[in-house]
Amino acid sequence: MAEQFLQFASETDGVGLDVYRELYASGADVTGLDGAFFAEVAGWRLAGILLFDRRLAGVAHERSAERVRRDQFDHFTVQLVVEGRFEVDGGEGFVEIAPGQIVLLDMTRPMRNRAVTTRVVTASVSREVLQAALGSTAGLHGRVVDQDKALLLADYMTSLAARASEIGEADLPAVSRAFIDLLTVAAGSVELSRGADLRRLEFARRESVKRFIEANLASDLTADAICDATGVSRATLYRIFQPDGGIGGVIQTRRLVRLRAALGDPADDRPLADIAQACGFKSESHMGRLFRKAFATSPGDYRRQIRAATSVSARAELSRRRWDALMGEIT
């Protein structure tokens, strides 16, 4: 299933703005507005997309130029206002984003928003995803897609937020591809050039390989097996995944992500050795070495930390750390 890495509810948990501010500390400065503060946030990892469903009141977020330089995020957010009042400043002053509208924001650029009382469904997506959809990301920061153009994408994003926990892991690449296609429809303008076509072709090849990897993580995933199954040549396979540390690095990352999701599932009581085999690691000790290198803790300790986090602040800190780790997948 899609990994839910974030769940926060200020009202249910009886916490205020300070805990919420710490939750967002890695990506934005949070301040309160006039009126009562409220926040209910859920987040899921899809394939190349982090999906958030946020119900907010009395809160503002800001990414200053200094913060942009410091965190070096290189992704976009696609933000759908479902209801309420939400204002965004992409550099030219605040504009109100009406329910049904979608705003695109480049995280390499400063921005501010104000949530008076609203529900916003947000997709954080890699620059590669936007380039595959639109051919170019030039001029997208602060662009507002009106309701009549955004209808299909808005319906899809709302449905994803409602059904994310039911989506199978192997289906996530296809789900993300549908998001790209609907974003293309919503944007209404696509760069038509040989370079843009090549980027879309490369993206399609990468997604085909990723789908095969996700469906076969427990197997011995050799380059020959991947090429035979996807029709991608060995030279192309190595080239298109070279920026990700090579195809071996991609496979290892996907195994670690699946392992972390299993360890974070309170209903999964399988022994670590069984989980290691299901995720495709050579042995429990091999799994442990790679997990510790990636996340600075052992699989057993991570599982215990997750299950021992009973206070709201402890759960918020764990969510923030998982969120930080996932940002590497889209930045």
Task: Find the farthest-apart pair of alpha carbons in the chain and give their distance in angstroms, rounded.
Answer: 60
How far out from the chain centre does Cα 231 lie? 28
Q: Look at residues 205, 193, 186, 192 and name the one whose alpha carbon lies nearest to residue 144.
A: 186
Per-residue pLDDT of the chain (331 residues; tens, 9 = 90+): 678 888 888 876 667 899 899 889 888 999 999 989 999 999 998 888 999 999 999 999 999 999 999 888 989 999 999 999 999 999 999 999 999 999 999 999 999 999 999 999 999 998 877 777 777 788 889 999 999 999 999 999 999 999 998 998 778 878 888 898 898 888 876 555 555 667 777 878 888 898 899 889 999 999 999 999 999 999 999 998 998 889 999 999 889 988 988 888 777 899 999 999 999 999 999 999 999 998 889 999 999 888 887 777 777 777 877 787 777 777 6
Residue 19 · residue 311 · CB < 8 Å? no
Q: β-pairing, 75-89 with 102-106?
A: antiparallel
- Amino acid of residue 138: A
Residue 102 · residue 80 · CB < 8 Å? yes
**How far is Cα 290 from Cα 293, in angstroms, rounded to an integer?**
5
Burial class (CB in 10 A: 0-12, 13-18, 19+), 293: exposed
Break the chain into its structural domains and give their ranges: 3-330
Residue 296 · residue 3 · CB < 8 Å? no
Q: Cβ atoms within 10 A of the Cβ of 24, count?
A: 18
SS (H, E, C) 24-90: CCCCCEEEECCCCCEEEEEEEECCCEEEEEEEEEEEEEEECHHHHHHHCCCEEEEEEEEEEEEEEEC
Beta bridge partners of 62: 29, 112
Contacts of 149 (CB under 8 A, 6+ apart): 185, 186, 187, 188
Contacts of 224 (CB under 8 A, 6+ apart): 234
**How far is Cα 304 from Cα 230, in angstroms, rounded to an integer?**
39
Residue 303 · residue 263 · CB < 8 Å? yes
**How far is Cα 215 from Cα 226, in angstroms, rounded to an integer?**
11
Three-point CA angle 182, 243, 219, nearest 5°: 80
**How far is Cα 255 from Cα 325, in angstroms, rounded to an integer?**
14
How far out from the chain centre does Cα 275 lie? 24
3 state SS of 110: coil
